[in-house]
Amino acid sequence: VFSRTPALIAQSIASLDQISHGRATLGLGTSGRLLIEEWHGLPYHRPIARTREYIEIIRQALSGQALTYEGQFFQLGRFRLGASPVQANIPIFLASLGPKNLELTGQLADGWLPVWVHQNHLPSLKEQVSKAAQEAGRDISQVTVAPQIMCYVSETAKEQAEVDQRIRAHMAYYIAGMGQYYYDLFCRSGFQEEADAVRVAWANRDRDKAASLVSEDMLSGIAVSGDAATCRASMDRFRRNGADMPIVAFPHGSTLDGIKRTLEVLAPAKVAQPGSAAGFGN
C-alpha cells in the first residue's frame, strides 16, 4: 500500500485484468514498519485507515466513472482510468493478520490473504473475519480465505530434510528479522516460547541455531512438506479448517522439477484421496 498510490494500483490492475482476459485479483497489504520506513524511506502512519481509503478509491476508479475523492490521506480530482478492466468487479483481497486489520477485511474485502498461519489457528482467525463481516451486514461466504502456504513435495527423506531446513530458516527470518509484526503473529498462534528463543539466537547472529529452534509443530502445522500422501493430507486439513483457495508458495532453492511435482500433487482434485499411504516410494 505505502509504496504505490491508489491511482497507480487501479491503473495497474485494470491493465493486468485486460492482459489476463478477466482473471486478475488484486491483493493489498501494508507490509510493516521495518520495511516501509527502512526500505522505502516512508513514514508508516495509520496503515489501516490508509488501506480503507485505498480500497474505496480503487473500487470507484475501476467502475470507470470520473472520481473525485476527499479523504484523510488522498484528495483526487476527476481521476478516470483510460482503459477499463474486463471484470465488472475485480476482487480485492487483503493481507491481514492483526485484529484490527482482520476486522477491516471482514468489513470490506472480497478475500483474505494470511501468511505463516498454523492450520489449527486458521479457524479462530477466520471467526474474527466472519464476526466483522456480520457486523457490516455481510456474510463470511463473501470473503474468500486464501492463505499463502509454503509447500514442497519431496521424493526422498534426504530431500525432505533439506527442504525442511530451508523452510525453518525462512520462518526464523520472518520471526526475528522482519520487525514486530510476524513475531506477534507467531506469539498469538501459541509459539511465543519458540519465537523468543529464535529472536535471541538471531540477535546473537547464530542463524543456524535460530532455524533449529523452529519447532516441529510450527513446521508441520504452518508448511506443507513431505512425501506426496503427507502433503495431500496436510493440505486437506488446511481446507477443512477454512482455506477456500490455498496459495502455494515454495521454499528458497526449490527446483523446477520439485515445483512442478508439488503443483501436480496438490492440484485440488487430488488433495482428498482416501487410501493413500504416507511414506517415500509409495
Taking residues 89-104, report their average pLDDT: 95
pTM of the model as a whole: 0.89
pLDDT at 281 over 50: no
Q: What percent of the chain has pLDDT over 90?
A: 85
What is the distance between the alpha carbons of residues 107 and 52, in angstroms, rounded to a whole number?
10
Task: Report, as an integer, the average pLDDT of 96-112.
Answer: 96
What's the pLDDT tens digit per position in 222-270?
999 999 999 999 999 999 999 999 999 999 999 999 999 999 999 977 5
Question: In this structure, are residues 181 and 97 in contact, taking their beta carbons and an 8 Å threshold?
Answer: yes
Identify whether the C-beta of residue 195 lies closer than 8 Å to the C-beta of residue 187.
Answer: yes
Distance of CA 13 to the CA centre of its chain: 18
* N-terminal to C-terminal alpha carbon distance within the chain: 45
280 pLDDT above the threshold of 60: no
Q: Are strands 224-226 and 67-70 parallel, antiparallel or unpaired?
A: unpaired
At 18-76, the pLDDT tens digits run: 999 999 999 999 988 878 888 889 888 899 999 999 999 999 999 998 999 999 999 99
pLDDT on residue 39: 84
Whether 249 and 152 have beta carbons less than 8 Å apart is answered as no
Give tens-digit pLDDT for 123-163.
999 999 999 999 999 999 999 999 999 999 999 999 999 99
State the pLDDT at residue 268. 79
Per residue in 156-173, pLDDT (tens digit) is 999 999 999 999 999 999
Q: Where are the domains positioned within the chain?
A: 1-88
Residue 123: all three cell numbers together: 479457524
| Radius of gyration from C-alpha coordinates of the chain | 20
How far apart CA 52 and CA 229 sit, in angstroms, is: 42
153 and 258 Cβ atoms separated by less than 8 Å: yes
Select from 22, 89, 25, 27 the least CA-distant residue to 62: 89
